[in-house]
């Protein structure tokens, strides 16, 4: 059986990264110019990596599916980015950020990676400020911080409710500078549809030009995938409409392990579903939980009256409100980690206390904050979020509590990578949300931005050299090699096949059905029976898709339905792998909650004796079950505990 080698450097935790950097191989400037790197994706991880690699002297080919690199979905992150600066003098440190992240991830992340993440977090803030990112500041001119879930210190840097936007625009500006200098070649409206391997190493990609519909070939010495997560498999999520798992899935099919697919994050504060035509869910930043209090009515009859429209939330007296997070988790209150907050909301709604006309919502109330701080301060802090809410729901959150409900948000799972962020395919790297490495079973708020930028600015530009140092003698590849031809033919056949089905159902209708299966059985609460059922249903759905989908237009032309169909084909398979992984992991941890494994109080019950490992799935062929390899998570520095946010 294949052994998993995560290449973690020797030495004490705090010195591993330094040791690695001191001893890794580097590529000299003259040789960098002779090496080409493909970076797929232009989000925080992709843009920062492409810019940094190009600044160092490599030739970079950068791809995005949107019309501009600035559209990548990192832009939608609202709340902030964590860093262990301890500017607030509240006792923060690299170790504490590391520890909070490990604990928040329910002890399912790799210690060395997380420590490195915490270590470079401070440089990210410095870098962004130098780029002109307008972080929030105090009157004294220094940077301001806010608190986020799962931490007892204020370490989150923010730019109003648009932190992701500002960080991405920072990375985008660095990338644009390199494009302007001619050192990065940008391919916009191009979607990676396959990886090309030569002699076992990743040497290029096939991309579909979304405007012309033509397949194009690109060769390089290494390929970096920074294509985000796969939670759009659920159809409804907070991800952008174009966010997809296909690039990562092609890597998986070419031999890269897919790690922990069952770990997906359900974000507690999203705007509830309004009806059948809903296309995506809108997140309300976690930062709202700094000042907002979450509650449902204490009495079932009140909840029923609200659902029937006979009672308004403002009419419920204080003593009849159940601030269930404050009740259940006194120490962290409304700022418990996301998985905990989401499950608690589901628990209340399942028990019949939900509000909104569907009963699938809870209140997030700012009345106290407005009384305490004044409307003006609340407006300064959350004005744009309140405005966003009002535009969507047509309710004024200054006057009546917001309604929120959990929604799919982030994939902790992803391509397996070693300490160098290289997948199990040599020369193929995965960074940002596309990899699995740093968040374990649950990601803390404001950590995704941190990880994306850490990978792109400060980790990959080092580690990729350790690989490329051996490649300096390798000349540039021709895209006329048979490997490219074969890969292109395969994808062309796939497109032809899809175009020729000419069935009866639209891509979206099948995607919605997929979403229902996923939410029902592989969502917030899972059990063996449901998962087995889901596997059956997904098999049937896959059959339905491949025999009954209808795609108008031509395959070799701009075709939005074909784009969606290619992604959906992969989403169905990702769903299947998620089901397998969820079934296999007979424990509850982080975002993965198995109903069979919970404490008497309904908290997640981790089983460290059975599952202290990363599940790495290896593709075996289209109609064969994948094989699971285990990367043991030996904790050398932290003692695993049951997570406790109560006291």
User: Residue 279 interacts with other proteins (CB under 8 A)?
Assistant: yes
Q: How many residues bind other proteins (CB under 8 A)?
A: 83
SS3 label, residue 247: helix
List the structure tokens of 541. 């759905």
138 binds other proteins (CB under 8 A): yes
Output 97 or 579, the one with its CB closest to other proteins. 97
Q: Using CB under 8 A, which residues numbered 564 to 603 contact other proteins?
A: none
Closest separation in Å from C-beta 638 to other proteins: 28
Say if residues 636 and 275 touch (Cβ distance below 8 Å).
Answer: no
Going by the DSSP 8-state scheme, the letter that residue 13 receives in this structure is G
Question: Looking only at residues 501 through 520 of this chain, which bind other proteins when binding is defined by CB under 8 A?
Answer: 506-509
**Stretch near other proteins under the rule CB under 8 A, chosen from 63-71, 100-108, 146-154, 417-425:** 63-71
**Helical ranges in 502-619 per DSSP H:** 507-521, 528-548, 560-584
User: According to the binding rule CB under 8 A, does residue 139 interact with other proteins?
Assistant: yes
Q: Which of 14, 525, 558, 605 binds other proteins (CB under 8 A)?
A: 558
The DSSP code for 454 is I
- CA dist 358 and 459 (Å) reads 46
Minimum CB–partner distance for residue 392 and other proteins (Å): 7
d(CA 359, CA 354): 4
Beta-bridge partner residues of 40:
63, 225
Nearest-angstrom CA–CA distance, 69 and 165: 12
d(CA 348, CA 328): 12
* Cα gap 619→616, rounded to integer Å: 10
Give the start-end residues of each E strand in 13-118.
Answer: 36-40, 59-63, 81-82
Interface with other proteins, residue 545, by CB under 8 A: no
Query: Does position 328 bind other proteins by CB under 8 A?
Result: no
Using the rule CB under 8 A, is 274 a contact of other proteins? Answer: yes
Told to check if 51 binds other proteins by CB under 8 A, we report yes
473 binds other proteins per the rule CB under 8 A? no
Q: How far is the CB of 313 from other proteins (least distance, A)?
A: 17
Q: What angle do CA 613, 20, 14 make, to 5 degrees?
A: 70
Q: Which stretch binds other proteins (CB under 8 A): 94-102, 147-155, 237-245, 469-477?
A: 237-245
Which of 98, 135, 332, 429 is close enough to bind other proteins by CB under 8 A?
Answer: 135
Quick one: 69 or 530, whose CB is closer to other proteins? 69
Between 163 and 435, CB nearer to other proteins = 163
Using DSSP, state whether 207 is helix, strand or coil: strand
Nearer residue to other proteins within complex by CB, 3 or 391: 391
Angle at 383 between CA 381 and CA 386, to 5 degrees: 120
CA distance 99 to 115: 8
Give the span between the Cα atoms of 88 and 96, in whole angstroms: 14
Q: Does 241 bind other proteins (CB under 8 A)?
A: yes
Interaction between residue 55 and other proteins (CB under 8 A)? yes
Give, as ranges, the residues between 438 and 467 that touch other proteins (CB under 8 A): 457-458, 461
Q: Which residue has the tokens 């909840």?
A: 303
Query: How far separated are the first and last CA of the chain, in Å rounded?
Result: 44
Do strands 215-219 and 201-209 pair parallel, antiparallel, or not at all (unpaired)? antiparallel
In this complex, which beta carbon is closest to other proteins, that of residue 515 or of residue 530? 515
Give yes or no for residue 344 binding other proteins (CB under 8 A).
Answer: no
Taking CB under 8 A as the binding criterion, the range among 31-39, 121-129, 334-342, 485-493 that sits at the site for other proteins is: 121-129
Residue 71 found at the interface with other proteins (CB under 8 A): yes
What 196-201 contacts at long range (C-beta under 8 Å, 24+ apart), as own/partner pairs, is 196/483, 196/484, 196/487, 197/254, 197/255, 197/425, 197/483, 198/477, 198/481, 198/483, 200/425, 200/426, 201/425, 201/426, 201/427, 201/428
Q: Which tokens hold the place of 279? A: 């296309």
Q: Which stretch binds other proteins (CB under 8 A): 141-149, 199-207, 343-351, 416-424?
A: 141-149
Q: Taking CB under 8 A as the rule, does residue 66 contact other proteins?
A: yes
For other proteins, which is the closer residue by CB, 52 or 588?
52
Question: Residue 287 interacts with other proteins (CB under 8 A)?
Answer: no
Residue 376 is encoded by which pair of tokens? Answer: 């003006």
Distance of alpha carbon 587 from alpha carbon 592, whole angstroms:
8
Q: Which stretch binds other proteins (CB under 8 A): 124-132, 330-338, 396-404, 575-583?
A: 124-132
Distance CA 164, CA 448 (A): 10
Using CB under 8 A as the binding rule, whether residue 226 contacts other proteins is answered as no
> Which SS3 state, helix, strand or coil, does residue 440 take?
coil
Q: Which residue among 20, 58, 87, 98 contacts other proteins (CB under 8 A)?
A: 87
Closer to other proteins by Cβ: residue 57 or 333: 57
Q: Which residue(s) pair with 200 in the sheet? A: none
Length of the chain: 647
Complex with other proteins: residue 33 or 137, whichever CB lies closer: 137
- Does residue 129 interact with other proteins by CB under 8 A? yes
Please state the closest distance from residue 56 (CB atom) to other proteins, in A: 8
Q: Is 278 in the site for other proteins (CB under 8 A)?
A: yes
Binding residues among 364-403 for other proteins as defined by CB under 8 A: 387-388, 391-392, 394
Q: Find residue 143's DSSP bridge partners.
A: 137
Which residue, 324 or 458, has its beta carbon nearer to other proteins? 458
Please list every residue from 414 through 443 that binds other proteins, using CB under 8 A.
none
Q: Hey, which residues between 146 and 175 contact other proteins (CB under 8 A)? A: 159-160, 162, 164-166, 169, 172-174
7, 11, 15, 134: residue in contact with other proteins (rule CB under 8 A): 134
Q: Is 26 in the site for other proteins (CB under 8 A)?
A: no
Coil, helix or strand for 550?
Answer: coil
Of residues 361 and 614, the one with the C-beta less far from other proteins? 361
Query: Crossing angle of helices 111-131/16-23, nearest 10°?
Result: 80
Q: Which stretch binds other proteins (CB under 8 A): 60-68, 327-335, 412-420, 584-592?
A: 60-68
CB of 52 vs other proteins, minimal distance in Å: 4
Catalytic site residues? 338
Nearer to other proteins, 132 or 352 (CB): 132
Among 211, 377, 586, 627, binds other proteins (CB under 8 A): 211
> Going by DSSP bridges, is the β-strand pair 222-225/36-40 parallel, antiparallel, or unpaired?
parallel
Minimum gap (Å) between residue 238 Cβ and other proteins: 8
* Count of CB atoms situated within 10 Å of the CB of 58: 27
Cβ nearer to other proteins, comparing 67 with 596: 67
How would you classify the pairing of strands 184-187 and 59-63? parallel
According to DSSP, the residues that pair with 197 across neighbouring strands are: 202
């Amino acid at each position: 059986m294949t052994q998993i080698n995560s290449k973690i450097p020797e030495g004490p935790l705090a010195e591993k990264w330094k040791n690695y950097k001191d001893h890794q191989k580097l590529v000299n400037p003259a040789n960098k110019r002779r090496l080409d790197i493909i970076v797929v994706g232009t989000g925080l991880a992709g843009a920062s990596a492409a810019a940094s690699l190009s600044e160092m002297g490599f030739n970079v080919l950068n791809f995005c599916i949107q019309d501009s690199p600035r559209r990548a979905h990192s832009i939608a992150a609202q709340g902030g980015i964590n860093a262990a600066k301890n500017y607030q003098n509240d006792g923060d440190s690299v170790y504490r950020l590391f520890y909070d992240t490990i604990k928040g991830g329910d002890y399912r992340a790799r210690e060395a990676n997380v420590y490195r993440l915490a270590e470079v977090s401070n440089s990210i803030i410095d870098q962004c400020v130098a780029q002109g990112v307008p972080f929030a500041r105090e009157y004294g001119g220094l940077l301001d911080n806010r608190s986020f879930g799962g931490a007892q210190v204020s370490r989150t840097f923010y730019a109003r409710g648009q932190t992701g936007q500002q960080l991405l625009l920072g990375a985008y500006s660095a990338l644009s500078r390199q494009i302007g200098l001619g050192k990065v070649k940008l391919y916009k409206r191009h979607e990676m549809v396959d990886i090309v391997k030569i002699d076992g190493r990743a040497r290029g990609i096939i991309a579909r030009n979304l405007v012309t519909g033509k397949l194009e070939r690109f060769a390089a010495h290494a390929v970096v995938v920074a294509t985000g997560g796969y939670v759009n498999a659920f159809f409804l999520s907070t991800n952008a409409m174009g966010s997809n798992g296909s690039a990562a899935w092609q890597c998986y099919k070419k031999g890269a392990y897919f790690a922990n697919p069952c770990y997906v994050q359900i974000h507690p504060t999203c705007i509830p579903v309004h009806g059948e035509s809903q296309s995506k869910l809108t997140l309300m930043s976690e930062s709202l939980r700094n000042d907002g209090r979450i509650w449902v009515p204490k009495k079932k009859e009140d909840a029923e009256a609200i659902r029937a429209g006979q009672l308004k939330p403002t009419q419920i007296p204080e003593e009849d409100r159940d601030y269930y997070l404050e009740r259940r988790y006194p120490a962290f209150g409304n700022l418990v980690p996301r998985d905990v907050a989401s499950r608690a909301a589901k628990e209340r709604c399942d028990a019949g206390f939900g509000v909104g006309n569907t009963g699938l919502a809870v209140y997030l109330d700012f009345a106290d904050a407005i009384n305490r701080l004044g409307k003006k301060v609340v407006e300064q802090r959350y004005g744009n979020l309140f405005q966003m809410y009002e535009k969507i729901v047509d309710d004024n959150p200054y006057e009546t509590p917001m309604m929120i409900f959990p929604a799919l948000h982030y994939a902790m799972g992803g391509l397996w990578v070693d300490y160098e962020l290289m997948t199990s395919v040599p020369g193929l790297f995965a960074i940002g949300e596309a990899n699995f490495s740093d968040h374990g079973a649950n990601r803390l708020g404001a950590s995704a931005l941190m990880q994306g930028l850490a990978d792109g600015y400060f980790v990959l530009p080092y580690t990729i050299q350790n690989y490329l140092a051996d490649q300096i003698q390798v000349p540039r590849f021709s895209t006329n090699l048979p490997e490219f031809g074969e890969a292109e033919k395969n994808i062309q056949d796939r497109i032809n096949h899809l175009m020729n089905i000419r069935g009866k159902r639209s891509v979206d209708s099948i995607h919605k059905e997929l979403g229902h299966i996923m939410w029902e059985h592989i969502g917030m609460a899972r059990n063996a029976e449901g998962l087995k059922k889901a596997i059956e249903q997904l098999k049937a759905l896959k059959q339905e898709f491949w025999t009954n989908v209808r795609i108008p237009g031509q395959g070799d032309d701009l075709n939005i339905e074909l784009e969606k169909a290619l992604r959906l084909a992969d989403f169905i398979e990702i769903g299947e792998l998620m089901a397998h992984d969820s079934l296999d992991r007979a424990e509850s941890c982080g975002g993965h909650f198995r109903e069979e494994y919970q404490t008497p109080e309904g908290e997640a019950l981790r089983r460290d004796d059975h599952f202290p490992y990363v599940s790495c799935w290896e593709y075996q062929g289209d109609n064969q079950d994948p094989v699971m390899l285990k990367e043991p998570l030996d904790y050398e520095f932290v003692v695993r505990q049951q997570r406790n946010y109560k006291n």
